């Protein structure tokens, strides 16, 4: 069993799609009209090696931009943070040990839609 997709609130689907394709090498696995008069589409992206897709949900106006939305696991967290910073992406917290799990590193960034996202290293083997 696995999760088919996780929903990510976005205001601009094309901008969000470009952000994740450019910065995380996501592959577009679905981009189809949904019949909405405003042109909203069903878009799913997959991170390399992932079964779970990222689906763009229409963002609500009253959402809290300081609530983390997703945790992305990255074996190359420091390199990814450096690439994001060099591309002008807002880094909210620098890589640091996770207070809830010693030995694990986490950092936070804000995506093109203002979502607060967490990057974390994989869990150590138990």
Dump pLDDT digits (tens) for 17-35: 999 999 999 999 999 998 7
Q: Which domain holds residue 48?
A: 5-120
User: Does residue 126 have a pLDDT over 50?
Assistant: no
Examine residue 91 and state whether it is found in any structural domain, yes or no. Answer: yes
User: What are the residues whose beta carbons fall under 8 Å from the beta carbon of 65, sequence distance 6 or more?
Assistant: 110, 114, 115, 116
Domain count for the chain, please give it. 1
The pLDDT, as a whole number, for residue 119 is 96
Examine residue 10 and state whether it is found in any structural domain, yes or no. Answer: yes
- 119: number of Cβ within 10 Å: 23
Q: What is the DSSP string of 46-69?
A: E-TT-SSEEEEEEPPTT--TTSEE
The pLDDT, as a whole number, for residue 68 is 79
Examine residue 51 and state whether it is found in any structural domain, yes or no. Answer: yes
Examine residue 125 and state whether it is found in any structural domain, yes or no. Answer: no
Examine residue 42 and state whether it is found in any structural domain, yes or no. Answer: yes
The pLDDT, as a whole number, for residue 124 is 65
Residues 65-85, mean pLDDT to the nearest whole number: 92
**CATH code for position 93:** 3.10.180.10
Nearest residue to 52 (alpha-carbon basis) of 91, 107, 119, 3: 3
């Amino acid at each position: 069993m696995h999760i088919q997709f996780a929903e990510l609130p976005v205001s601009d689907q094309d901008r969000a799609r470009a952000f994740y394709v450019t910065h995380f090498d996501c592959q577009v696995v679905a981009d189809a009209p949904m019949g909405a008069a405003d042109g909203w589409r069903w878009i799913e992206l997959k991170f390399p090696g992932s079964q779970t897709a990222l689906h763009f949900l229409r963002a609500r106006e009253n959402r809290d931009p300081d609530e983390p939305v997703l945790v992305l696991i990255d074996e190359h967290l420091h390199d990814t943070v450096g690439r994001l910073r060099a591309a002008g992406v807002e880094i909210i917290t620098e890589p640091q040990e996770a207070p809830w799990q010693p030995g694990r590193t986490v950092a936070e960034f804000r995506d093109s839609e203002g979502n607060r996202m967490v990057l974390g290293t994989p869990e150590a083997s138990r």
